[in-house]
């Protein structure tokens, strides 16, 4: 029986841990999983609702760390997590993605000599100003086993000098959750509640510090949105960081009320099922998120990524993702190109092993 601590901290972690937890529960004679929540995200809309939507039990252990600077947040997670590892003596600790909780918990384990498995290893944007890139490089360097989503990630790890025997190409765990919940999400009435129908709307998400913490960049993106919304309604679930910046910068094209003068609909962050129901029907997604580039690829929805790089190049090579950067003219042009073309989705190819069976492969590997 393997005792495994599964770490979650921030919103993009929950849908990656849920299928692993479910598979471990299915293999109850082999695994004893426990969910540890660092509390990096703590708002109901950023955390609790995901447990309900994903059918995950409440965390076994909650560290309650909350928001702070990167150094303080990372240090607090480490201080709170170390006694948990000493007390629980797990055989494995599984970390996912690239948030501060990922590196903090991996580092505690590396120092205590406890085995860490990193799910979604090897992704690289090659942009070290991005906090997640630092987290990725460091987590990969100290993990015992590295589970990758695509073969370019394997190559990145080999280039970093990581021995091939530590690397396992298992596919994309987030797509396990997506495929599992697509049908269930059809019950959500979010489209009706927001007054959108057919596929005559776009969905926008924006929360990267490089976009929303910079007044000139954020204002430029808002200008592009004002032009796009003349042709297509835009629904914008707003991350707390972004909402604070809209107020601070006084971006009046994006008031914090429900619908802007320009018709952009600003709403609270959505839960997993409501959000899936919303983006899965959209004509176009505009985002700076990582996961959404992958989810739109699988569903064949055109995605404009408002960044200058992506750690997920396979979504461009095989999927529907286009990297447009943050220049308002380029964003507008790319959006209009999609709206003007009849067959807006590129013929979407689903990358290898994004098949809903990644949790099974991960558990197999841990047992080996
Ligand atoms: C974090 C991750 C990012 C991920 C994102 C998803 C890091 C370095 N970044 O960024 O990779 O894409 O989560 O959402 O780990 N806040 C709240 N309520 C919450 C959580 C945050 O109001 O529940 C506000 C706080 O003002 C906080 C700010 O959002 O200071 C930023 O939160 P933080 O966890 O530091 O980073 P994110 O921007 O959410």
Rounded to an integer, the average pLDDT of 10-21 is 98
Q: What is the pLDDT of residue 256?
A: 64
The residues lining ligand 1, judged by C-beta closer than 6 Å to any ligand atom, are 10-12, 40-43, 46, 67, 98-100, 131-132, 207, 239-241
Ligand 1 centroid–CA 241 distance in Å is: 7
Q: What is the pLDDT of residues 171-193, one digit of tens each?
A: 999 999 999 999 999 999 999 99
How far apart are alpha carbons 293 and 346 in whole angstroms?
A: 14
Ligand 1 centroid–CA 34 distance in Å is: 23
Q: What is the pLDDT of residue 113?
A: 98
Rounded to an integer, the average pLDDT of 39-63 is 96
**pLDDT above 80 (res 262):** no
**pLDDT above 60 (res 274):** yes
Closest atom of ligand 1 to CA, residue 73? 35
Rounded to an integer, the average pLDDT of 273-289 is 97
**pLDDT above 80 (res 199):** no
Strand partners, 202: 234, 284
Q: What is the pLDDT of residues 87-130, one digit of tens each?
A: 999 999 999 999 999 999 999 999 999 999 999 999 999 999 99
Lowest model confidence (mean pLDDT) among 198-207, 210-219, 295-304, 319-328: 198-207
Structure tokens at 222: 């808002």
Ligand 1 centroid–CA 41 distance in Å is: 6
Quote the radius of gyration of the chain (alpha carbons, Å): 20
Q: What is the mean pLDDT of the chain?
A: 95
Ligand 1 centroid–CA 12 distance in Å is: 10
- Strands 234-237 and 202-205, sheet pairing: parallel
Q: What is the pLDDT of residues 289-344, one digit of tens each?
A: 999 999 999 999 999 999 999 999 999 999 999 999 999 999 999 999 999 986 55
Residue nearest atom 9 in ligand 1 by C-alpha distance = 99
Q: What is the pLDDT of residues 356-367, one digit of tens each?
A: 999 999 999 999
Q: Which residues are catalytic?
A: 207
Closest atom of ligand 1 to CA, residue 97? 11
Q: What is the pLDDT of residue 146?
A: 98
Closest atom of ligand 1 to CA, residue 209? 38
């Amino acid at each position: 029986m393997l005792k495994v601590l599964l770490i979650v901290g921030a919103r993009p972690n929950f849908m990656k841990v849920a299928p692993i937890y479910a598979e471990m529960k299915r293999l109850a004679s082999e695994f004893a999983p426990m969910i540890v929540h660092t509390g990096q995200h703590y708002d109901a809309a950023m955390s609790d609702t995901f447990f309900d939507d994903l059918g995950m039990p409440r965390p076994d252990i909650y560290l309650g760390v909350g928001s702070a600077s990167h150094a303080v947040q990372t240090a607090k997670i480490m201080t709170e997590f170390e006694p948990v590892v000493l007390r629980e003596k797990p055989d494995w600790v599984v970390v996912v993605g690239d948030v501060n909780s990922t590196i903090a918990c991996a580092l505690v384990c590396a120092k205590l000599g406890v085995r860490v498995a990193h799910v979604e290893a090897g992704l690289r944007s090659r942009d070290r100003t991005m906090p997640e890139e630092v987290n990725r490089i460091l987590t990969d360097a100290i993990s015992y086993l590295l589970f990758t989503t695509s073969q370019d990630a394997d190559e990145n790890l080999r280039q970093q000098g990581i021995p091939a025997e530590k690397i396992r190409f298992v596919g994309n765990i987030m797509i396990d959750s997506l495929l599992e919940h697509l049908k269930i999400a059809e019950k959500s009435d979010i489209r009706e509640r927001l007054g959108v129908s057919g596929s005559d709307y776009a969905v926008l998400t924006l929360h990267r510090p490089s976009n929303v913490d910079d007044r000139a960049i954020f204002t430029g993106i808002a200008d592009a949105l004002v032009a796009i919304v003349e042709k297509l309604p835009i629904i914008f679930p707003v991350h707390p960081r972004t909402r604070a910046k809209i107020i601070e910068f006084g971006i009046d094209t994006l008031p914090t009320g429900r619908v802007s003068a320009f018709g952009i609909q600003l709403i609270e962050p959505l839960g997993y099922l409501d959000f899936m129901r919303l983006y899965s029907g959209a004509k176009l997604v505009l985002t700076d998120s990582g996961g959404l580039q992958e989810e739109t690829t699988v569903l064949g929805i055109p995605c404009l990524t408002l960044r200058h790089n992506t750690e997920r190049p396979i979504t461009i090579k095989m999927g529907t993702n286009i990297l447009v950067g943050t220049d308002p003219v380029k964003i507008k042009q790319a959006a209009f190109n999609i709206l003007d073309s009849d067959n807006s989705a590129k013929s979407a190819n689903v990358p290898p092993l994004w098949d809903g069976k990644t949790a099974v492969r991960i558990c197999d590997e841990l047992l080996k």
